[in-house]
């Protein structure tokens, strides 16, 4: 057989194979882009639906806070005929929302402070120091995330009672701290691991003790993570209802805001003061919305900085 014939006959066979490679890659890239666009649109639709589910009840509550009882039931989706600020005054004074609000501020303030202090110290030691039982202690703390609160209400009641802290803010604060530590340690331990070891070594060379190194060097570097966890703890403790209901059941003057609103909702069925109830709900909701809106960037940076470093 002539060699030229072989070359001529084999050349066309190889040419389509070389041309098919880039075309196949282009088709696969276009398919991947189409899948990404599809999932992106589905994600936006899901977020829009979720936003409507969350925002609409809150807006309805805010509008109902300025209406009277007749408007709430006759035209629930319309704007109030006038802004009735006396609903808030009645809820603040007559329903004792002001006192419950102050109690919540005290309990959540001390609870968050204790949680962040103890949680940051425990997370720092578990993340930066190697010792026997390190992992066991860490997993013991983290296991608290999977333990439902309502399963411990009965034994918790007797523990607090035996300590003489039942119907006191001190007992509630200690329980808040205990139940907030698992999440705080879980989050901050992962954050402290991302901090550079060279800074800690330089501090030790300069003569810093372990305590001073933590409070003067490592804690300021972990500020984004601390702010994020603190906001989550504030929101979680502010909305807590089961624990205060069990631990402050017989001390009405020490009730927190969630207990006060529950009591108002029960009395509203008899007194028909639904506008006062929605005004109290607005007073309870607004502080958390403001806190989240003010610290939104810090929360986002704290959640993402651990992955970026």
Token reading at 86: 């006396």
Q: How many structural domains are present in the chain?
A: 2
Token reading at 5: 């014939």
pLDDT value for 10: 45
pTM given for the model? 0.79
Residue 64 is assigned to a structural domain of this protein: no
Q: What does the DSSP 8-state code read for residue 148?
A: -
Tens of pLDDT, residues 15-70: 444 445 566 666 677 777 777 788 888 888 998 999 889 888 889 989 989 988 88
3-state SS, residue 198: helix
Q: Is the pLDDT of residue 286 over 70?
A: yes
As a whole number of angstroms, the distance between CA 227 and CA 125 comes to: 19
- The CATH number that applies at residue 238 is 1.10.3720.10
User: 112 and 181 in one domain?
Assistant: yes
Among the residues of 65-85, which ranges form H helices? Answer: 69-74
User: 270 and 136 in one domain?
Assistant: yes
User: 119 and 45 in one domain?
Assistant: no
Residue 285's domain spans which residues? 91-308
As a whole number of angstroms, the distance between CA 63 and CA 138 comes to: 47
User: 300 and 220 in one domain?
Assistant: yes
Tens of pLDDT, residues 134-182: 899 999 998 888 888 888 888 899 999 999 999 999 999 999 999 999 9
Close Cβ partners of 90 (under 8 Å, ≥ 6 residues apart) = 273, 276, 279
23: exposed, middle or buried (C-beta count within 10 Å: 0-12, 13-18, 19+)? exposed
User: 147 and 32 in one domain?
Assistant: no
Residue 118 is assigned to a structural domain of this protein: yes
Residue 41 is assigned to a structural domain of this protein: yes
Q: Give the gyration radius of the chain's Cα atoms.
A: 29
Q: Is the pLDDT of residue 233 over 90?
A: yes
User: 183 and 252 in one domain?
Assistant: yes
Tens of pLDDT, residues 3-27: 444 444 444 444 444 445 566 666 6
User: 248 and 187 in one domain?
Assistant: yes
pLDDT value for 303: 61
Residue 163 is assigned to a structural domain of this protein: yes
Of the listed ranges 111-125, 131-145, 191-205, 225-239, the least confidently predicted one is 191-205
User: 124 and 272 in one domain?
Assistant: yes
């Amino acid at each position: 057989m002539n060699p030229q014939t072989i070359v001529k006959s084999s050349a066309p066979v190889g040419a389509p194979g070389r041309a098919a490679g880039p075309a196949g890659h282009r088709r696969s890239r276009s398919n991947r882009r189409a899948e990404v666009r599809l999932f992106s649109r589905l994600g936006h639709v899901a977020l829009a639906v979720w936003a409507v589910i969350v925002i609409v009840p809150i807006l309805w509550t805010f509008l109902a806070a300025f209406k009277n009882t007749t408007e709430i039931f006759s035209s629930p989706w319309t704007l109030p005929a006038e802004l009735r600020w006396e609903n808030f005054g009645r809820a603040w004074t007559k329903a004792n929302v002001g006192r419950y609000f102050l109690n919540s501020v005290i309990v959540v303030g001390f609870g968050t402070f204790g949680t962040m202090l103890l949680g940051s110290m425990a997370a720092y030691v578990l993340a930066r120091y190697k010792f026997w039982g390190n992992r066991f202690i860490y997993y013991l703390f983290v296991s608290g995330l999977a333990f439902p609160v309502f399963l411990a209400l009965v034994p918790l009641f007797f523990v607090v009672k035996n300590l003489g802290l039942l119907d006191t803010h001190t007992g509630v604060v200690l329980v808040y701290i205990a139940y907030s530590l698992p999440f705080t340690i879980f989050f901050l331990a992962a954050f402290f691991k991302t901090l550079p070891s060279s800074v800690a070594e330089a501090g030790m060379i300069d003569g810093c003790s372990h305590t001073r190194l933590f409070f003067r060097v490592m804690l300021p570097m972990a500020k984004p993570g601390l702010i994020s966890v603190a906001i989550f703890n504030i929101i979680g403790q502010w909305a807590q209802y089961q624990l205060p209901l069990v631990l402050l059941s017989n001390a009405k003057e020490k009730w927190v805001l969630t207990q006060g609103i529950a009591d108002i909702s029960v009395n509203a069925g008899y007194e028909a003061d639904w506008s006062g109830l929605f005004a109290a709900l607005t007073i309870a909701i607004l502080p958390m919305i403001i806190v989240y809106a003010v610290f939104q960037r810090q929360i986002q940076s704290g959640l993402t900085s651990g992955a970026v470093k």
